[in-house]
Structure 1
Amino acid sequence: MSPAPSISSDHDIQAAVQDELSWTPEVDSAGIGVAVDDGTVSLSGEVDKYSTRLAATRAALRVRGVTAVVDDLSIHPNATQSVSETDIAKAVEHALTWASNIPNTVKAKIDNHNVTLQGEVIWDFQRQAAKRAVEHLRGVNSVANTITITARPSAPDAEHRITQALVRNAQLDATAIEATVSGNTVTLTGTVRSWAEKHQAELAAWGSPHVTEVNNQITIRL
């Protein structure tokens, strides 16, 4: 088996991101420009719908060496002309109502094909589920997630329990990550090898029943 190619420069990262976009079935890479500056990828151009825009961003974040993605993609205006805001509102309400992991405290506001999610939930996974439920609906240009987490009491052992969760996670090198808790806020610092690991550490922290905010300051080691 031949070894995986190394990615050591912005030019290498740019080529790898372009290849990953071409490899992603839901993305038409022909209309997407890729620029890289010190590991930060900027995507530009037009796509046909919001879900394609999300898929392009996620594809770029999968590439080794990428530290962040700036999404400058726009939605082609012809993609939303046949869908009214009333249609979008009905589709959003239906999606939120029928998802079993989204409480009825979540509401949505639609303005010019842009959806703003509002309300309060107990867990972050419910907040993320609400966003996933509506971001692929036809006619949606963007989703702003302003849902908040219900206030909860702090706990003296929250920091220890989060650290243990990081240690248990097979996708992480917990020795390179530090969790510091102040009240209901946990701050993650340290280094990881990819954006996926950084995201995984954040998910582990959100599992704490005493956390309402995660400040993810982990850096990606190239």
Structure 2
Amino acid sequence: MDDRTVRRHVTDELDFAPMIDAAQIGVAVENGVVTLTGHVRNYAEKRIAERVALRVRGVRAVVEQIGVRPPDSVRVDDEALADRCAKVLEWDVQVPERSVEIKVAKGCVTLQGCVPHYHQKAAVDKALRRLAGVTDIVNLIAVTPPVQPDAVKARILAALKRNAKDPDTIRVEVDGDVVILDGCVDVWRERDLAERAAWSAPGVRAVEDRLTLAG
């Protein structure tokens, strides 16, 4: 499909979307890559325009350069917007308490923190995108699955059995996201092996090495 046809289809699809004012959005296409320009009333419309363009056949990618210009009647200063965002997340049951840090600069909301599951990261974005005054959202929330102590211990022991000469002399305990190595080894090389095995397990934050060298 040529670029001219893709552009026409994207423009028609935007016109068909009742949630946005397509007259304020410019569309350019080059080699199947769609660039959206212009301005919309809120961040939600910006996201909708991007999704609408992506669903058109022949679109390879979308470069979104749409600005947000809230009406004067709904303009919110950064301090008030940050407070509003915090309150929305406090009431959202999908978002773990105190898991997200919010920073607002000229309506751009930057999110940092850590949650156990991706759907919780997406829930934060979804909860804030329709707030008046939001011009953009930068979601830097990390997804870190909770540590499963039994699985971490099994993985470390399996690595030791593959590489250590006498793995039974090394004891492994997992306390939350901390691995404790105890026992004795014949050579310091095996101590290094044990430490590397511990650090390679997902979710491990610290390794406490109590291993000693056999006399």
- Please report the TM-score for the alignment, with normalisation by the length of structure 1: 0.62
- Alignment partner of 2:102 out of 102, 108, 111: 108
SS at structure 1 position matched to 2:66: strand
Matches within 5 A, 1:70-219: 70-76=63-69, 78-79=71-72, 82-104=75-97, 105-150=99-144
Cα 1:79–1:66, aligned 2, differ >3 Å: closer, same or farther?
A: farther
- Alignment partner of 2:29 out of 27, 36, 47: 36
Q: In structure 1, what is the Cα distance between the partners aligned to 2:4 and 2:29?
A: 7
Cα 1:95–1:52, aligned 2, differ >3 Å: closer, same or farther?
A: same
What is the RMSD of the two structures over their aligned residues, measured on CA atoms? Answer: 2.3
Q: In structure 1, what is the Cα distance between the partners aligned to 2:70 and 2:13?
A: 26
Unaligned regions of 5+ residues in structure 1, if any?
A: 1-7, 156-209, 212-222
The alpha-carbon deviation at position 80 of structure 1 amounts to 7.8
SS at structure 1 position matched to 2:65: strand
The alpha-carbon deviation at position 39 of structure 1 amounts to 1.1
**Larger CA Rg, structure 1 vs 2:** 2
- Are the counterparts in 1 of residues 50 and 62 from structure 2 also a CA contact under 8 Å? yes
Cα 1:146–1:80, aligned 2, differ >3 Å: closer, same or farther?
A: farther
- Alignment partner of 2:57 out of 53, 57, 64: 64
The alpha-carbon deviation at position 82 of structure 1 amounts to 2.9
SS at structure 2 position matched to 1:17: helix
The alpha-carbon deviation at position 109 of structure 1 amounts to 1.1
- Are the counterparts in 2 of residues 48 and 79 from structure 1 also a CA contact under 8 Å? no
Residue 15 in 1 paired to residue 8 in 2?
yes
Cα 1:39–1:80, aligned 2, differ >3 Å: closer, same or farther?
A: farther
Equivalences, count: 150
Identity percentage over the alignment?
A: 36
Q: In structure 1, what is the Cα distance between the partners aligned to 2:90 and 2:69?
A: 29
Q: In structure 2, what is the Cα distance between the partners aligned to 1:70 and 1:25?
A: 22
Unaligned regions of 5+ residues in structure 2, if any?
A: 153-201, 204-215
Q: In structure 1, what is the Cα distance between the partners aligned to 2:91 and 2:40?
A: 29
Q: In structure 2, what is the Cα distance between the partners aligned to 1:80 and 1:114?
A: 18
Cα 1:80–1:146, aligned 2, differ >3 Å: closer, same or farther?
A: farther
Q: In structure 2, what is the Cα distance between the partners aligned to 1:58 and 1:51?
A: 11
Relative CO higher for 1 or 2, CA cutoff 8 Å, sep ≥ 6?
1
SS at structure 2 position matched to 1:15: helix
- Are the counterparts in 1 of residues 111 and 137 from structure 2 also a CA contact under 8 Å? yes
The alpha-carbon deviation at position 28 of structure 1 amounts to 0.5
- Please report the TM-score for the alignment, with normalisation by the length of structure 2: 0.64
The alpha-carbon deviation at position 53 of structure 1 amounts to 0.9
The alpha-carbon deviation at position 100 of structure 1 amounts to 1.2
